[in-house]
Amino acid sequence: MTNPTTGRSKLDYTEIVRMSKEIPVLESEMDGLKELLVDFKALPSSLGANITEQDAELSTDPALGEDELEKPSTTGFLEEAPLDLDSARFARDLTDDITVAIALRDWEKAIELIEEGQVKAATTPLLASALPPLKKQLKTSLLDTLSPPLSRTSSVVQTLTLLNRLGAGASARSAFLDMRTNIIRELVHKIDFTFEGHEGTYIAELSAVVFTGIKNTADWYMASFKENEAASLFTTWAKHQIEAYCEIFRKVVYSEGVEPKIVDEAIRDMHVRSRELLEAYGLDFKYLLDKVLAVENQTISHMAERGSRAF
């Protein structure tokens, strides 16, 4: 019979020999795991250094465009401000609300939300980077609403006021005056087709369209912009409209074949319309209209000379 004790001793000895052979392997594997753990712990620092170097290269690379250079650095945000879940949630909700308000054309609410975001942007870095593109989108949408020629006065004034609140006053002024120029030009073209060949009626309608356009523009513009530079810009715009009017006036009234009686009626109507639609509201451009009269006197004298020679 086999001695159980002897058999157990042989088994224990065999296990001990096998384990003694595996110990070096286990030690080697443990050393490898330790090295891997050290590398893993150093990974965030390594990534941060690499991203910082890439940011530095982007800022000094002249081949890159402005859009690429203006991209915010994620590394700076991660290093300077730890992730605040409440702030991140607030920034996400606010930007979502602004996007929805713009889509629904709720301009007043969109402006209010952006103003709220601007107050908190200093302490919420995510908002500081998210607000500029939303402001640009809202500005573009508001400027587009100025294009339709049949916009109501109240709607136009409200849009200009909102653009001022958005900090886009200069763009709003230029866009509004450009829109008004196009509207007046389109209305003048309609007169060309309607009263072609009827000089007296044409000038009467031309004066009404141009002078009324200038008056209405002044009402809307001055109600929205109070700055000194705004008044100067409007004066320059109105002067260009008067000069364009005078140019058309000269071409129509002082062309060959127009009777002196029609010329007199056109000049008289021009002054009447100017007093009713411009001077009565403090818009005195008589000094520009006098240039028309100066040309008129010259032209009539030449016409008289040609007439006397003909006889």
pLDDT at res. 112: 95
From residue 260, alpha-carbon distances to 18, 197, 200, 292 in Å are: 128, 16, 11, 15
The mean pLDDT value of the chain amounts to 75
206-234 burial string, b = 16+ CB within 10 Å, else e?
bbbbbbbbbbbbbebbeebbeeeebeebb
43-66 tens-digit pLDDT = 545 544 544 554 555 455 454 444
Q: Identify the three-state secondary structure at position 104.
A: coil
pLDDT at 310 over 50: no
pLDDT at res. 87: 82
201-231 tens-digit pLDDT = 888 899 999 999 999 999 888 888 877 778 8
Euclidean distance between CA atoms 160 and 222, whole angstroms: 11
Task: Please tell me the pTM assigned to this model.
Answer: 0.60
From residue 82, alpha-carbon distances to 12, 43, 87, 88, 124 in Å are: 57, 18, 11, 11, 11
Output Rg (C-alpha) for the chain, integer angstroms.
40
Average pLDDT over residues 176-190: 90
Please say whether the beta carbons of 219 and 160 come within 8 A. Answer: no
pLDDT at res. 58: 46
